[in-house]
């Protein structure tokens, strides 16, 4: 992340490859970021949030929107899809923990359902 990026909201940042010396975020860094993502929890090496919907159509539409974010950012969550619920899990597998990419994508997923 560049110095400029640190001033941008998570939804305006973009994922960067996590290779060659990138370390997972530490406990202090993760705990400092979590309050900015209401409803998300830190479980092991992942950010996790369950999203509930009125019906299967809305659930699948949400999954497709999450897939588009994953494609654009080249950072892919694990999804658990059922009739009216989707559980989203973000983790940076390449580094065995959480990175800024996970927080960027989690914020983008939340923005899908943001109401003005």
Answer yes or no: is 7 within a domain.
Answer: no
In degrees and rounded to multiples of 5, residue 83 shows phi and psi of: -55, -50
Q: Which tokens sit at 60?
A: 């699948």
Range of the domain at 62: 23-112
pLDDT in tens, 65-93: 999 999 999 999 999 999 999 999 999 98
Kindly report the pTM of this predicted structure.
0.86
Q: Give pLDDT, residue 19.
A: 66
Answer yes or no: is 62 within a domain.
Answer: yes
Residue length, the chain? 116
- Residue 48: CATH number of its domain: 3.30.1360.20
Q: Would the pLDDT of 18 be above 50?
A: yes
Are residues 40 and 48 in contact, defined by beta-carbon separation less than 8 angstroms?
Answer: yes
Number of domains in the chain: 1
Collapse the DSSP code of 102 into the 3-class scheme (helix H, G, I; strand E, B; otherwise coil) and give the result.
Answer: helix
Answer yes or no: is 98 within a domain.
Answer: yes
Distant-in-sequence, close-in-space partners of 71: CB < 8 Å, separation ≥ 6: none
Answer yes or no: is 35 within a domain.
Answer: yes
């Amino acid at each position: 992340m560049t110095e400029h990026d640190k001033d941008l909201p998570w939804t305006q940042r973009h994922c960067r490859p996590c290779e060659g010396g990138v370390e997972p975020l530490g406990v202090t860094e993760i705990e400092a970021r979590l309050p900015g993502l209401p409803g998300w929890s830190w479980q092991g090496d992942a950010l996790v949030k369950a999203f509930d919907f009125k019906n299967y159509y809305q659930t699948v539409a949400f999954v497709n929107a999450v897939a588009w974010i994953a494609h654009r950012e080249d950072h892919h969550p694990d999804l658990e899809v059922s009739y009216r619920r989707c559980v989203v899990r973000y983790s940076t597998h390449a580094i065995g923990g959480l990175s800024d990419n996970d927080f960027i994508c989690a914020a983008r997923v939340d923005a899908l359902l943001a109401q003005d």
